[in-house]
Amino acid sequence: MPQALPAKPHLEWLRKAAKLRLAELRAEKPEARLHQAQLAVANDYGFKSWRALKIHVDRINPALGQRARVFAAARAGDVEAVRRAFASGFDPATADSDGRTIHQIAKELRHEAIELLARDLQGGKTRPDDEMRAIQAIMRAAQSGDLDALHAGLDAHPGWIDALGGGFQKATALHLAVLRNRHAAIRLLIARGADLDRRDFPDNAAPLHFAAAHGDLETIALLVEAGADIDGNGDDHGVGVLGWATCFREVRQDVAAYLLGHGATLNLWTAIALDRADELRAIIARDPALLGARMTRNQHRRSPLHHAAAKNRPGIVKLLLELGADPNARDATGATALTTAALERADASVVAALLAAGMKPDFLTVVTMERYAEAEAMLRDDPSRIGPDGDDTIALHACVAKQNPAAIRWLLAHGIDVNARRPMWDLNHTALHMTIESGAIDLARLLLEAGADPNVRDDRHHATALGWAEFFGRGDFAELIRGKGGIR
C-alpha cells in the first residue's frame, strides 16, 4: 500500500529523499543511479514516475493559486495584471508546470509588452554594485577553476552561491564552471550545496543543459550523479537537456547515450535528431498532431520535417512524409524543408526525398545551392521579389543568419534591398542588426559597404544598429557603425 505524503511536501524534500534512497541502493548495488532512486521514491507514494510525483507536489503547493492566476494573465496578454504581480513580489523566474517562465510564455504567444516587462526584470540590474562585484568574483573563480578564490568567495558570501550574475545573459557560478569543465570547482560547488537545477536567463537552462551542449562526460556525470534533473523540460529552446546535446549544430552521440542510459526521455525533436525512426513512429502514433508541431522561435518555428532536413536525416524525412507531413510547410522565415536542407547543406538524398514529394526549389533554395542561373531567371520574371516589399528579400537575412558570404555578395550584386526589415526570431529588423547579435563583423562591413543604413530601427526595441552594439557590449561593432554615421 502506498505511503502518505507529508502534509506540506516540497521539491527540496523530495530531492533529499531521493539522495537518501540512492545511498541505500548503492549499499547493495554500487552501480545504482539517481533516476532509479527517484523512481523508487515515487513508487513509495503511489506514483508511476518521478515526474508525476513532482507535478502532484507542485499542484498542492499553497502558493499555486496565485501562481496559476499570474500565468493565466500572461497567457491572456493581461500586461497590467502581470505588472501588478511583479510589483507585489512575484519572482519572474518562477516556472509553470511545464517549466516555462512568464518571459517564455509571452515570447511564444507574442505578447510583446509582457515579454519586454519580464525581460527587463530578469535581464536588468537586480543588485547593488558592491553585491554584484562579489558575485562576479565568485563566478570568475568558478569559471577559471581558481579553487582558493572560490573557497574565499563562498566563505564570505555563502548565500550567493546560486546568484545570477553577468550582463543581460545571466548565469550562476555552477553554470560557468560547467561551461569550462572545471571539475574541481564543480565538485566544490556541489559540496557547498549549489542548486543543480537553477535556471539561467534568458535560455531558462540549468547547468546540465550547458553540460549537454558544451561539457565533457565527466562534467555531465558529476551533475547527474549529484541529482540534477536529467530531462530539464521548459528551456527556451523547448528541447530539454537531451535536445541541447542533439538538436543544435552538433549531435553529441556519446552524451545522448549517457543521458538515455540514465533515464532521459526521448521527445519528438530528439528522436528526429538521433535518427530513431521506430521511437519517432511510436511518438507520432500516440499523438498524430505532432506532425504539425513547431519548434520555438529560436529555431524559426521549424516543423518536424524542417528539423529532419536540418539534421540531415534522410530516413526520417521519408518517414515523416510517409506519415503525412506537409512537404510545403514553411517556417517563420518562409523557408520550406527543401530550403532548410539547402541552407544546412544536407546530403543529396535528403534533397531528393523532398523533391520526390513534389516540392519545387524556391528562390532562397537555389541561391543557397549556388544555382545562380535559376535564381537569375526568377529575377528576370519578377525583379521586385528582392525589393523593399518583395517576398524573397528575406533571403539576405537567411544568408546572414547562416553566415554565407558568397550568397550575400550575389544578392547584393543583384540589387536586394539591404535596408529592408524582415522578421527573424519574431523580430522585424535589418540584416545589419543580425550581424551584431551573431558577432559577424566581416558581414557587417560587407553590408555597410553595400549601403546598409545603420540608423534603421527594429520594430520592437526601436533600436538602431548602434543601440544593438552597445546592448550586446560589442565595442568593435560600435566603432565600425559610428564610422558610417550611426547614431543611437
Three-state secondary structure readout of 469-488: HHHCCCHHHHHHHHHCCCCC
- Domain shared by 373 and 438, yes or no: yes
The DSSP H or E segment spanning 170 is: strand 170-171
Only one residue has cell 522561435, namely: 297
Query: In this structure, is residue 88 part of a structural domain?
Result: yes
Residues 6+ apart with CB under 8 A from 470: 478, 488
d(CA 366, CA 356): 17
Task: Quote the Cα angle for 166-170-175, to 5°.
Answer: 105
pLDDT of amino acid 3? 83
pLDDT of amino acid 61? 67
- Domain shared by 23 and 108, yes or no: no
Q: Which of 265, 291, 322 is the last residue of a domain?
A: 265
d(CA 90, CA 66): 9
Q: What predicted TM-score, i.e. pTM, was given to this entire model? A: 0.81
pLDDT of amino acid 1? 66
Residues 6+ apart with CB under 8 A from 268: 280, 283, 284, 290, 293, 304
- Domain shared by 261 and 133, yes or no: yes
Crossing angle for the helix pair 405-413 and 441-449, nearest 10 degrees?
10
Query: In this structure, is residue 274 part of a structural domain?
Result: no
- Domain shared by 30 and 119, yes or no: no
Share of the chain above pLDDT 70, in %: 98
The x, y and z cell numbers of residue 256, run together, are 545522448
Q: Which of 265, 287, 312 is the last residue of a domain?
A: 265
Query: In this structure, is residue 432 part of a structural domain?
Result: yes
Query: In this structure, is residue 311 part of a structural domain?
Result: no
pLDDT of amino acid 63? 61
Q: Which of 231, 265, 299 is the last residue of a domain?
A: 265
pLDDT of amino acid 18? 83
- Domain shared by 167 and 250, yes or no: yes
- Domain shared by 449 and 482, yes or no: yes
- Domain shared by 96 and 16, yes or no: no
Residue 201 bridge partners (DSSP): 170
pLDDT of amino acid 64? 63
Cis peptide before 405 (omega within 30 of 0): no
Q: 241, 249 in Cβ contact below 8 A?
A: no
Query: In this structure, is residue 233 part of a structural domain?
Result: yes
The x, y and z cell numbers of residue 410, run together, are 550575389
For the stretch 447-465, what's the b/e string if a residue is b when 16 or more beta carbons lie within 10 angstroms of its beta carbon? bbebebbbbbbbeeeebbb
pLDDT of amino acid 290? 97
Q: Hey, what long-range contacts does 355-358 have (CB within 8 A, 24 or more apart)?
A: 357/321, 357/327, 358/327
The x, y and z cell numbers of residue 258, run together, are 549517457
Only one residue has cell 519528438, namely: 268
Residues 6+ apart with CB under 8 A from 338: 309, 327, 351, 354, 355, 359, 361, 362, 365
pLDDT of amino acid 321? 97
Query: In this structure, is residue 3 part of a structural domain?
Result: no
d(CA 149, CA 126): 24
Q: Hey, what long-range contacts does 84-89 have (CB within 8 A, 24 or more apart)?
A: 86/117, 86/118, 86/121
Q: 202, 237 in Cβ contact below 8 A?
A: no
How many of the other CB atoms lie within 10 Å of CB of 395?
A: 31
Task: Quote the Cα angle for 337-338-340, to 5°.
Answer: 60
pLDDT of amino acid 388? 94
Query: In this structure, is residue 352 part of a structural domain?
Result: no
Q: What is the dihedral angle through the alpha carbons of 361, 363, 369, 372, rounded to the nearest 10 degrees?
A: 120
- Domain shared by 31 and 73, yes or no: no
User: What ranges make up the beta strands (E) of 218-373?
Assistant: none
Helical ranges in 387-474 per DSSP H? 394-401, 405-413, 431-438, 441-449, 465-471
- Domain shared by 45 and 156, yes or no: no
Name the domain count of the chain.
4
Q: Which domain holds residue 239?
A: 129-265
Which stretches in the chain have pLDDT values below 70?
1, 7-8, 60-65
Crossing angle for the helix pair 217-226 and 34-44, nearest 10 degrees?
20
Instruction: Residue 416: name the closest of 369, 454, 461, 367 by CA.
Output: 367
- Domain shared by 87 and 162, yes or no: no
- Domain shared by 90 and 176, yes or no: no
DSSP 39: H
Query: In this structure, is residue 461 part of a structural domain?
Result: yes
The x, y and z cell numbers of residue 35, run together, are 533516476
Q: What is the dihedral angle through the alpha carbons of 386, 389, 395, 401, rounded to the nearest 10 degrees?
A: 140
How many of the other CB atoms lie within 10 Å of CB of 134?
A: 17
CATH number, domain at 109? 1.25.40.20
- Domain shared by 55 and 69, yes or no: no
